[in-house]
A and B are shown apart, each in its own frame.
Chain A
């Protein structure tokens, strides 16, 4: 194949015998693999495992909050449960989910490369993830942690007598997994592109990962050194965060949020990349304002580094700082809005179809928009002071991270499932799952906005009676949401054996990944392609089709 020819391929009746899954056999061939696609699969399995642990903990939290008393578990158990829920979901699910699975699988294929630049480092980062995850689970089983996922000092350094050190080091290790993934992506996108694959022919998925990788590479080391300092303070008593020795606990928050605010964009940017691909495919149109969408990813990454102190408006930072960080926070809304508006314009007059990935993408747009708009409440210091540490915050970041990121993840998994496995999933039930997830999500988290406005604080096992009705709604919603997550788990596994054979390009999409067989060969391409066509050129594709019809007719 010397040029990209996006003609509808003949759906072959069976899956090609030789592909990356069957190329080698045995456990060792997986555990020592250098193939980015196999590593992506390894990640997918392990990340799903942690997602369900984190989800089970969320279920326990919601059950406890069904009644005003703290009856299911004692307060300190509750503290440990929500801490573990946060730690696992943020560091072991949300941060790696899209980059490590879909990014790993697709970036080399999308740019026409045989593999990521550093296959061994890629495998190493999976092992680091496992070690970090294993340490986290060990910390959970041997007594848990109660500091909250933010490890705020002096709680984490002085008052907590739980497994802060193990958990801190676990995140340190998992952090290096993320650094190496980001490093690999940046170098790959710079150096491994096929001939003709210029920067402005890159799929937006790659742009989004490029921007997120910048954040991973620059932000994560700061988190790493911060956790080292916490561990040193707990073990040998250096006083960098200890006010009795002249240290400053607020410094911890500055350093922590310098990573952890950008971390939100590490989660959401790859998700946005997925949405760009899906929306374009299922409205059969070029993404409106491709350049603007591409650069908005980079803009979000850059702005993302200058807004961390909006997490600290009530921590006693100066009024001047509050003003500046408030303004900078508002500015992030601009590139995010550019994306949302451009997706809307892409949909405009498109031939829209509602396949499952598209349903999830719509879910993403709705939920992320609500999450983003409520962020404005929190970015403005006046309302922030009222809403800080209430359920409004909880609802806000769940809308952004779960409503946004998780919807995008599910959208992407469904979209590329045929490519990864060679098989289709059952369409009707997957559409149902998307709708159930959307409904369950709103049921769960919308009441929490109201709870927060009414003043219910987060992180307490017990609450006053007047908050019960909304909490019952929320818990009921959580069980619907749980069904929404279990369904794909079941039918996707089912589809591995019984799913219809997908063929190379079930969506008639234009990306390079759809031009190769599914599942792909180990080296992706038999011949390195020369890219001549524009990205998302659906108009061209449609013309080709008409041309064919007239010829056949």
Chain B
């Protein structure tokens, strides 16, 4: 708790303002306002963790039940695209952090370029994601009517693969890969939705920054958006190993 509460400040009639324009009327000081806003943002991110938590719970359970299906299905994901996307996203977190730093140190140009960089990297991520989704569509790996799983010989491995000791996936277990893909699309889709929301906010911020915004020291929005963007990044940092990497060759 800060000391800002320890001081009683005489209130003022509505309409008058003896404080900076960006201080809301119901706060005693800028310090209190900034602390409050950032606390609110952290709490919101906590609700986001719980939001994704439901999906992670489902993943945990089904992975235990249908382990071979999950291994086989994760093989069909494009590891390269996933890896590149991980780097793209981490880079975008870096440019975002640079943006926050530029706003703090009142570097207008730096802020604008950081935001542009973040926006481009976000778009690249979604572009690659689109390509992955498209590939899944062509392989009939989209849950629903068209779903079909026999790709890359997991159900009927080639003679060569059998020689190397690979075991065929039982047909009933192969059917369970649909659960994996359901979770894959629900989790990455929810993540992508967060990216899209983030990019809309980024565009707004960029517009404001290019009109000289955030140079007066009032950068709570930039800071909190930074937290949001890093959070979306962290969700991906969990999704990538869970969906792409774990026991690909179990």
List residues of chain A with CB under 8 Å of any chain B CB: 2, 23, 113-119, 121, 179, 183-184, 186-187, 190-195, 217-222, 224-226, 228-229, 232, 236-240, 245-248, 251, 254-255, 522-523, 525-530
Contact = CB atoms under 8 A, between A and B. Distances in A.
B148 to A, nearest CB: 13
B11 A528 contact: yes
Interface in B66-125: 66, 69
B159 interface: no
Contacts of A528: 8-11, 28
Interface in B138-179: 143-145, 175-176, 178-179
Nearest to A229: B186
B154 to A, nearest CB: 16
B46 interface: yes
Contact of A187 (B10, B24, B39, B47): B39
Contact of A218 (B50, B69, B182, B190): B50
B23 interface: no
B5 interface: yes
B7 to A, nearest CB: 7
Nearest to A236: B144
B182 A239 contact: yes
Contacts of B26: 113-116, 119, 192, 523
Interface stretch (B53-61, B200-208, B231-239): B53-61
Contacts of B250: none
Interface of B: 1, 5-11, 14, 24-26, 28, 32, 35-36, 39-40, 43-44, 46-48, 50-55, 57-58, 61-62, 65-66, 69, 143-145, 175-176, 178-179, 182-183, 185-186, 190
B58 A240 contact: yes
B234 to A, nearest CB: 16
A527 B35 contact: no
B143 A237 contact: yes
B43 A217 contact: yes
B51 A225 contact: yes
Contact of A240 (B1, B5, B179): B179
B182 A527 contact: no
Contacts of B66: 246
Nearest to A223: B54
A246 B176 contact: yes
A190 B32 CA distance: 11
A94 B180 CA distance: 37
A236 B190 CA distance: 15
B55 to A, nearest CB: 6
Most buried by B among A179, A186, A191, A229: A191
Give the top 5 A-B pairs by smallest Cβ distance, nearest first: A238-B182, A221-B51, A225-B54, A115-B26, A114-B26
A255 B54 contact: yes
Contacts of B11: 114, 523, 525-528
B10 A240 contact: no
Contact of A246 (B32, B145, B175): B175
Most buried by A among B51, B53, B58: B58
Contacts of B55: 225
Contact of B144 (A238, A248, A255): A238
A523 B25 contact: yes
A238 B143 contact: yes
A217 B46 CA distance: 8
Contacts of A193: 5
A228 B194 CA distance: 15
Contacts of A239: 143, 178-179, 182
B5 A245 contact: no
13 contacts: A187-B43, A190-B1, A195-B7, A221-B48, A225-B52, A229-B58, A236-B143, A236-B144, A239-B178, A245-B175, A246-B178, A251-B57, A528-B8
Contact of B61 (A187, A245, A251): A251
A245 B143 contact: yes
Given A113-B26, A523-B26, 11 more contacts: A187-B36, A187-B39, A217-B43, A218-B46, A240-B58, A245-B178, A246-B65, A246-B175, A247-B179, A251-B57, A527-B10
A450 B36 CA distance: 52
A116 B27 CA distance: 10
B145 to A, nearest CB: 7
Contacts of A251: 57-58, 61
Nearest to B182: A238
A226 B24 CA distance: 37
Contact of B25 (A114, A238, A530): A114
Contacts of B6: 195
Contacts of B5: 193-195
Contacts of B185: 238
A118 B66 CA distance: 45
A225 B186 CA distance: 10
Contacts of B51: 221-222, 224-225
A184 B51 CA distance: 18
B57 A195 contact: no
A2 B10 CA distance: 10
A202 to B, nearest CB: 13
Nearest to B4: A191
Most buried by A among B50, B176, B178, B186: B50
Contact of B40 (A113, A183, A237): A183
B150 to A, nearest CB: 16
A114 B33 CA distance: 13
A183 B54 contact: no
Most buried by A among B6, B8, B28: B8
Contacts of A187: 36, 39-40, 43
Contacts of B65: 246
A443 B32 CA distance: 52
Contacts of A220: 47
Contact of B36 (A117, A195, A224, A526): A117
Nearest to A179: B47
Nearest to B48: A221
A217 B50 CA distance: 9
A247 B182 contact: yes
A527 B28 CA distance: 11
Contacts of A247: 62, 179, 182
Contact of B47 (A114, A117, A221, A527): A221
A228 B58 CA distance: 13
